[in-house]
Structure 1
């Protein structure tokens, strides 16, 4: 599948020949602030069209200057010593050049039902595409296209629902994805549509990850929050951002829907000027598009049903959590941050694409009345993110980014257990007495993964063995070089006799043989074991809960044992016979 989208300037400058508003003489500048003073100057600029966010120093900021603003802004940039460059072509030249190339892609390519995301679709084409795509679903995969209301100009706002029709008919948690809240950000609806197609095709083609996701979650995708503005970018002004509502007593049109949500509305990072691109509206939820989204989410259970809320924007490689209106953090910020780190690290490791992550107010700037802050603050959805997509001119970039989103958020992150509820209790541990072949060492617990790999490589490949790790020291109080551990494979359970030849083979490989005793009482919990990410997720989701549990119950549980089975990580810490878990060379000396 091929998806075409152009370099950053072109992303915002593509326009149809029927467009009436022109941008002759509008300069395109790339400004590179190097100090906080530089950033403060950019923040206070008015009547300037910023195409990406003003972030931290040394990050380039692209902006468009009207002819009457060019000399004034350049003078100030020079006076303050802010580095910048001017594109040799004005906005209209770039726009015309792109259109001449873009119009060669005939609309007939969509009409033959072989549309392959090689161009951006108009609103009516998106409606037709969604109807066609919904028909691909079978009796086992239910796809519903539902209008959640009309826009100001009377266009339908469509939500595409994807649900596996399981026999259990259990109530599933929900995932919400929206796009197209800002009219000119064409890439975000394209990603939303491609996500729909990828989920459906993956399910129908037997993709195990996608099938597991849809067995537990219903997916809701609103591809265009702002259809009036989206249409206007095709017909009149490619750079339009807001809705198209009329403002009483003012000739300026529309509001910034992403400043119109009723959570800390109108406090910071928005404008009360109806002519501003960040106009927050006459009141919270003044825009019918805002009300439609809010009412639909709340009608479908709010935070009791939706566990994930993702809003897609462009451009910039950013993965942002609440809050935007405040430098404070939501209650589960540590969880949000760790989840962001897992997702962005996977992106970087797999594809070499770096995403900056953190709360919006710290990564960018403070802003109020956003859908992200509303989703966290009012329905209290657990995992809430703004994902800013970056266009780097790579023709397959959108495909890669979309697959990254699917792989990390759906295929890895959620599937690996990120939304799993952790329950800690006291009771019988998951294993009794076991005989193990093990290796031991001292060093950071983060580095024991290769030891597990070594142990498994010593074992016969035609049999299934469970592995375990015993961790003797607290990482927060013990130097990383002094952290003691044992990593082993279970050779026999209870009073089973070990395979002598296997024992000898493991001893020849440098392993030791030892016995982990049976105890009747331990602190216990478990976590899904579905991907390598499950290990990291289990660490940060389980250990904090265990510490809280032991503190509340006044328990002294140690050492910590992790048992890896086919589909679960079973964790426990004994409350008796604790010294007997210290195998050689860590076994305590006795008289």
Structure 2
């Protein structure tokens, strides 16, 4: 990178941070998501500087990755669009407008959802639409009632704001020798496709088992399955009531006047390193300490307690967006990969192949920090290094950048179908190769 480019970024970024605060409480009419596509290593280096210098003024939906030609998606407030576009043009960065009016897309989605009635029974639950948190909580209770022969529900904790975080366990022919699978969704509040997908997977497992699908019968007779549909329940509720694009928890940071912690930088394995911000107003704020969030303390305690009775072999934290299987390590791109890495990637590739076979949507598997970016205190590292689950991943669901976090409802079922196929393929691979 030329010195002129560096100085230009630093000069403009200082002006931007001083003059603007991209407040999540604003209405976002006229704000845009720009997709910037690096063409070479120099572009990637420039974009990393751009992200560091502008992280307090812009919202990086997808930051610079280790992959060339992988878009960097930046949400820009209306007041800064001209400035950012001029900066990109000056530095010869290729970009296009991914979403021309963020608030317009949000309004359209909420308009389509307006007037829906709350499902009165589990039979009325519509897996093709997004649901507010009270309906997700009721879904947990109804699953355990209507399928009490194989589904039980449990309370993980009460959230910071007093909401119940409930989850389900699918278990047939209980046996102390059985191993288990742990799925959790919704750790980032605005990633609505995540809870929708894990609920779809849960329903399909139960439905197919009861219909006698021999593939699913074999899997559930070998595995117990724990599913936490929404981990960040306060943040998720906030995206429905106040700010659709909210990411973090809702705990107060009184010394800074900002709200929330990035729960996926708060896990107690390699906490506090690169890719996690010490600044409380950042979207990647790591928290004052590891497990500072009541939800994180509870989820780790519950999962660790389970391992005293039953090995958790597969751990997946479901996210969006990027269509990636991210294996350890996340905290450092230079550290030596664990000896288990080849097995982790072979198992993930079985899932990737299954996903592609359903709707020809391509997912990519790899070590997280080496194909995406560094993120210390992340779930897949804790799942492997803290919980002891050999097959531990962060799954980034649809899409790769047309809608980003605002994935339309007509993609919920197709996304669920390809990831249900991936779940079965992963479970079978581990059963056949490493059980």
Q: What TM-score do the two structures reach when normalised by structure 1? A: 0.64
Q: What stretches of structure 1 of length at least 5 have no aligned partner?
A: 1-18, 423-591
- 5 Å-filtered alignment, 1:65-144, equals 65-86=76-97, 89-103=100-114, 106-108=116-118, 113-139=123-149, 141=150, 143-144=151-152
Give yes or no for contact 1:303–1:379 (8 Å, CA) kept in 2.
Answer: no
1:131-184: CA deviation from partner (whole Å, max 9, x where unpaired):
122222153x2x111011111111111121010035xx3431010000100010
Give how far 1:397 is off.
3.9
Distance 1:402 1:107, change over 3 A: same
Runs of 4+ in structure 1 deviating by more than 6 angstroms, as ranges, are 392-395
The alignment status of 1:210 with 2:216, answered yes or no, reads yes
When Rg is computed on C-alpha atoms for both structures, the one with the higher figure is: 1
Paired residue for 2:35? Answer: 30
- 5 Å-filtered alignment, 1:351-500, equals 351-391=359-399, 397-410=411-424, 412-418=425-431, 420-421=433-434
Distance 1:421 1:113, change over 3 A: closer
Give how far 1:109 is off.
5.4
- Judging by fraction of residues, say which structure has more helix: 2
Match for residue 57 of structure 1 among 43, 50, 68: 68
Q: In angstroms, what is the RMSD of aligned CA positions?
A: 2.3
Match for residue 292 of structure 1 among 288, 292, 298: 298
Distance 1:87 1:165, change over 3 A: closer
Match for residue 342 of structure 1 among 335, 350, 353: 350
- More relative contact order, 1 or 2 (CA 8 Å, 6+ apart): 2
Give how far 1:276 is off.
0.3
Give yes or no for contact 2:347–2:430 (8 Å, CA) kept in 1.
Answer: no
Q: What stretches of structure 2 of length at least 5 have no aligned partner?
A: 1-23
1:282-339: CA deviation from partner (whole Å, max 9, x where unpaired):
0111111111111011111169610000110001111110001122311201111111
Give yes or no for contact 1:339–1:418 (8 Å, CA) kept in 2.
Answer: no
Equivalent residue pairs, number = 398
Q: What TM-score do the two structures reach when normalised by structure 2? A: 0.85
> Partners in 2 of 1:355 and 1:367 — Cα distance?
20
Paired residue for 1:162? Answer: 170
Paired residue for 1:473? Answer: none
The alignment status of 1:41 with 2:46, answered yes or no, reads yes
Give how far 1:396 is off.
5.6
Secondary structure at 1:275 match in 2: coil
Give yes or no for contact 2:197–2:419 (8 Å, CA) kept in 1.
Answer: no
Give yes or no for contact 2:180–2:310 (8 Å, CA) kept in 1.
Answer: no
Distance 1:288 1:347, change over 3 A: same
Secondary structure at 1:134 match in 2: helix
Secondary structure at 2:168 match in 1: strand
Give how far 1:107 is off.
2.0
- 5 Å-filtered alignment, 1:298-317, equals 298-301=304-307, 305-317=311-323
**Worse-matched range after superposition: 36-45 or 249-258:** 36-45
Paired residue for 2:248? Answer: 242
Paired residue for 2:283? Answer: 277
